[in-house]
Amino acid sequence: MATTPKGRRLDADERRAQILACARELFSRRPYAAVSTAEVADAAGVARGLVNHYFGTKRALYLEVVGELANPELPALPDPGSHGSLQEALEAVIDMWLDQAEDNRETWLAAIGAGGFGRDPEIELIIDGAREEVAQWILRAIGVGAPVPGFEELHGIVRAFTGLAEASSVEWLVHGRLSRDQVRALLVSSMLGVLRDVVPGLLGDRTPS
Amino acid sequence: MATTPKGRRLDADERRAQILACARELFSRRPYAAVSTAEVADAAGVARGLVNHYFGTKRALYLEVVGELANPELPALPDPGSHGSLQEALEAVIDMWLDQAEDNRETWLAAIGAGGFGRDPEIELIIDGAREEVAQWILRAIGVGAPVPGFEELHGIVRAFTGLAEASSVEWLVHGRLSRDQVRALLVSSMLGVLRDVVPGLLGDRTPS
DNA sequence: CACGCTTGTTGGCGGAACGCCAATAAGGGT
DNA sequence: ACCCTTATTGGCGTTCCGCCAACAAGCGTG
């Protein structure tokens, strides 16, 4: 990453961007506390003091990296009115979202914190374990054992569902945009709908389609 | 939190637990790097060296705190024989989940990382801002402006939905338990179902020309 | 009651990292 | 060729962490 020979002067903006890039590289692999400014400076082929000169503090540098990562560059929406049903509009926007996630995979995962950003990989493991426990708990509750055909998909669905449960609960407990009853209805409705689509056999007596 | 006079000897397990409690208190309010072991020791009314004596390193102490927080104590499931329909089982387990979240509100939010755990509040703000942007983007895409009646709820629902989108995408891109098509179907289906239940007016007539 | 042994506890040493600032020199303008 | 702007450096003081030897509180023993 050290693109310039020692001591060479660069344009301020250029140098700043270069250091930022190195910091991004390092912070995306190791947790905040495990990355030193000296390391960042080293990677950029620059004296440590210069990092502080451009970003003030290590924390400020970190914040800037995160801010850069978390900026999702959402694709432009198609003209309103060009779509017929709500379903079509929804499908379109979801496709765009998925494209975006697939293309910027690295960046996007880092921003989400899934691949572990400044977050400690070990911490990530603990959290993931807890989520997995909840998922297994739900699977048991709806009477799904491991050897069911298509279990992997079901597993993934339930894991995804816990994401919905967490986010909606935050809307309820933190932002107050949803009531408990609404969260409940939201979870039951969406989970039922998805199960109906993917494993219709589970529903027993009621088997549409 | 300093329950014992200076220099008093405690049982090893007791002292350990006390320090852990203080660490938990501090780490839940400020990010990792902003909490010093000296502070933890101070809060426990103990010499700094003792923290290292019991936990080795600051990081190990932190990991233990997180591990303690992330342990969700899931309520026992009802007898598998007593379940009626899938819907009933689902409603039951979701109610249990919501109870659990409501009761342990503090702890649970901390574990999720929503209230910001060892995570930097400022970082949290950035991430939340990015999520909000996505939510607004989706709202625009499905043709919902701000002054719609029941907009708050819709807003919350979409925010919750982004949680589902993120989690399912992680299942797709990281764990490989879902394919892209499955994620797509999952998102479309659940979002449509929920919209149908909450704002049925949106579905009927579209194309306001 | 005195003594000693176990072990919880302390205080400080050495190293690493961070924020800051004055000194330096690179590169363009005159 | 000179100077003047400013990117860049190197080091000082401070804070924080991991480690360890010394200390003493409390219990058992004679």
pLDDT digits (tens, 9 = 90+) for B147-202: 777 788 899 999 999 999 999 999 999 999 999 999 999 999 999 888 887 766 66
Between A101, A123, A170, which is nearest B173 by CB? Answer: A101
A44: CB within 7 A of chain D nucleic strand: no
Sort out which chain B residues have CB atoms less than 8 A from A83's CB and list them.
Answer: 206-207
3-state SS of chain A is CCCCCCCCCCCHHHHHHHHHHHHHHHHCCCCHHHCCHHHHHHHCCCCHHHHHHHHCCHHHHHHHHHHHHCCCCCCCCCCCCCCCCHHHHHHHHHHHHHHHHHHCHHHHHHHHCCCCCCCCHHHHHHHHHHHHHHHHHHHHHCCCCCCCCCHHHHHHHHHHHHHHHHHHHHHHHHHCCCCHHHHHHHHHHHHHHHHHHHCHHHHCCCCCC
Note the pLDDT of residue B115. 43
Model confidence over B83-115: pLDDT tens digits?
Answer: 578 888 899 999 999 999 999 898 888 877 654
Of A135 and B70, the one with more pLDDT? A135
Sort out which chain A residues have CB atoms less than 8 A from B118's CB and list them.
Answer: 123
- pLDDT band of B142, cuts 50, 70, 90: confident
Model confidence over A184-200: pLDDT tens digits?
Answer: 999 999 998 888 877 66
- pLDDT band of B72, cuts 50, 70, 90: confident
Between B72, B92, B142, which is nearest A86 by CB? Answer: B142
| DSSP 8-class letter at B162 | H
Note the pLDDT of residue A75. 85
Quote the pTM value.
0.86
A94: CB within 7 A of chain D nucleic strand: no
- Protein-proximal nucleotides of chain D (any atom < 7 Å from a CB): 6-11, 15-21, 24-26
Model confidence over B13-56: pLDDT tens digits?
Answer: 999 999 999 999 999 889 899 999 999 999 999 999 999 999 99
Q: Distance (Å, rounded) from C-alpha A139 to C-alpha A143?
A: 6
Sort out which chain A residues have CB atoms less than 8 A from B178's CB and list them.
Answer: 153, 156-157, 160
- Which nucleotide has the shortest C1'-to-CA distance from A11? D7
Is the predicted pLDDT of residue A11 greater than 50, yes or no? Answer: yes
Sign of CA dihedral A42, A43, A44, A50: negative
Q: Which of residues 45-84 of A touch strand D (CB under 7 A)?
A: 45-50, 53
B155: CB within 7 A of chain C nucleic strand: no
Q: What is the mean pLDDT of chain B?
A: 85
Query: CB–CB of B160 and A178 under 8 A?
Result: yes
Note the pLDDT of residue B149. 73
Q: Distance (Å, rounded) from C-alpha A62 to C-alpha A48?
A: 15
Query: CB–CB of B111 and A101 under 8 A?
Result: no
Least confident of A147-151, B189-193, B201-205: B201-205
| DSSP 8-class letter at B118 | S
Query: CB–CB of A165 and B118 under 8 A?
Result: no
